[in-house]
Amino acid sequence: MEVALEGKKPDSIIREERPLVDKNVTYIENSVDMIDLNQRVVFTADGKKLAYDYIILATGSVPDPDSIAGLRAASLNFHTSTEDSLKIWDALQQFRKGHIVLGIAGVPHKCPPSPNEGTFLLDDYLRKSGKRDDAKITFVTPYPRPYPAEAMSKVVEPLFQKRGIDVVTFFNLESVDPTKKELYSLEGDTLSYDLLIMVPPHRGADVIIKSGLGDKDGWIPTDKYTMNVKGYDNAYAIGDCTDIPVSKTGVTAHLEAKVAANNIISSIENLGQTHKYTGRINCPFEMGSGKAAFVVGSYEKPVKEIHPSRIRHVMKRGFERIYWRSLTGNLDWLLDTYFGATDIVENSKPTVVSSK
């Protein structure tokens, strides 16, 4: 996002994976060709077979612009790679005037706030560069409101109106004509553009589809509490690859990973504990003008209305600084303090009372 709309250098947000892994962990850098949960074997692309006792699947999601005719050729996007994000920044440097359409080409997709964030940051850029008066911005979405969750949409909609950003709802993209520069919806509507930035629909990873572990779109059927792959006590799925009803975000994956890891430890050490994820989400939400909010909710508590502020923007940018350190687990105490209870423990092993 910041690469595409603020000109941030890609190197500043990328890290090599090996140094992030604990030295006591055997790290294998290879592609996985097939996963057999029944035989408990992972097959790598170079023909190796890795047997396991427990497995955690974190295969993510895949942007799928080719699922909509004309989308790949016509649209720029900031969800596929840093290279594609740079193309947006380069296009904005060349842009002088016209109609910019930014929105959601299909669902689900990574990071629900990102299309709205991109729109706010686009407006910021055009204002700072003196191009806003000659630019029309339209946000398009298949949802009935600017943001999927009604509580946060009540925050987004008036800010869009204040900034002069048009919104087209119930626009389910069917195809794009790159030559005519037109979008066509399933509802029969047509929308023209000069510059198109769309978040493509996503699907599950190829290896999940090839291994027959997902549904028709490649999402892994997962117990939303224990993170078990349904039907397998020793297999877990976390992050974007699951079919559970929460946001596909990094924070969510981190919290789910703790639950899966704790359940594996409980099984190995026969602790008789079942760890359950509460569905807690806490998505940073950039709203431009140096302000940000957070999308906060859980299985039991719907997303609540949170307005942007400068302190929340500082919190968002501050977390970016500690993100890589948080992957080691050394900062989980800090995350636990902030998030509260996200891993509920149920004890099934009877307590032994000594008679002594």
Please check whether residues 182 and 289 belong to one and the same domain.
no
Burial 59-73 (b: 16+ CB within 10 A, else e): bebbbbbeebebbbe
Among 202, 236, 255, the domain boundary falls at 202
The answer to whether residue 35 sits within a structural domain is no
Please check whether residues 187 and 282 belong to one and the same domain.
no
Structure token pair of residue 124: 């910021």
The answer to whether residue 154 sits within a structural domain is yes
The span from the CA of 232 to the CA of 95, in Å, is 52
Please check whether residues 93 and 195 belong to one and the same domain.
yes
Which pLDDT tens digit goes with each residue over 143-187? 999 999 999 999 999 999 999 999 999 999 999 999 999 999 999
Please list, in sequence order, all residues whose beta carbon lies within 8 angstroms of the beta carbon of residue 280, skipping any fewer than 6 positions away: 255, 297, 298, 339, 340, 342
Q: Residue 150's domain is classified under what CATH number?
A: 3.50.50.60
Burial 173-202 (b: 16+ CB within 10 A, else e): beebeeeebbbbbeeeeebebebbbbbbbb
The answer to whether residue 268 sits within a structural domain is no
| Percentage with pLDDT > 70 across the chain | 98
DSSP 269-300: TT--EEEEE---EEEEEE-STT-EEEEEE-SS
**How far is CA 18 from its chain centroid?**
23
Please check whether residues 279 and 198 belong to one and the same domain.
no
Please check whether residues 185 and 72 belong to one and the same domain.
yes
pTM more than 0.95: no
Please check whether residues 89 and 184 belong to one and the same domain.
yes
Among 187, 202, 217, the domain boundary falls at 202
Neighbouring CB atoms inside 10 A of 231's CB total 10
- What is the torsional sign of CA 26, 213, 264, 319? positive
Structure confidence at residue 351 as a pLDDT band (50, 70, 90): very low
Tell me which residue range forms the domain holding 105: 64-202
**How far is CA 91 from its chain centroid?**
25
Q: What is the pLDDT of residue 219?
A: 98
Please check whether residues 308 and 198 belong to one and the same domain.
no
The answer to whether residue 314 sits within a structural domain is yes
Q: Give the residue carrying structure tokens 């962990």.
A: 25
Which pLDDT tens digit goes with each residue over 268-289? 999 999 999 999 999 999 999 9
Answer whether residue 126 shows pLDDT above 60. yes
The answer to whether residue 27 sits within a structural domain is no
Please check whether residues 198 and 282 belong to one and the same domain.
no
The answer to whether residue 69 sits within a structural domain is yes
Among 161, 179, 202, the domain boundary falls at 202
The answer to whether residue 218 sits within a structural domain is no
Give the HSE-up count for residue 313: Cα atoms under 13 Å, Cβ half-sphere: 11
Please check whether residues 90 and 196 belong to one and the same domain.
yes
Structure confidence at residue 328 as a pLDDT band (50, 70, 90): confident
Q: Report the SS3 class of residue 203.
A: strand
The domain tally of the chain equals 2
- Of 279, 221, 223, 282, which is closest to residue 250 (Cα–Cα)? 282
The answer to whether residue 227 sits within a structural domain is no
Q: What is the pLDDT of residue 350?
A: 53
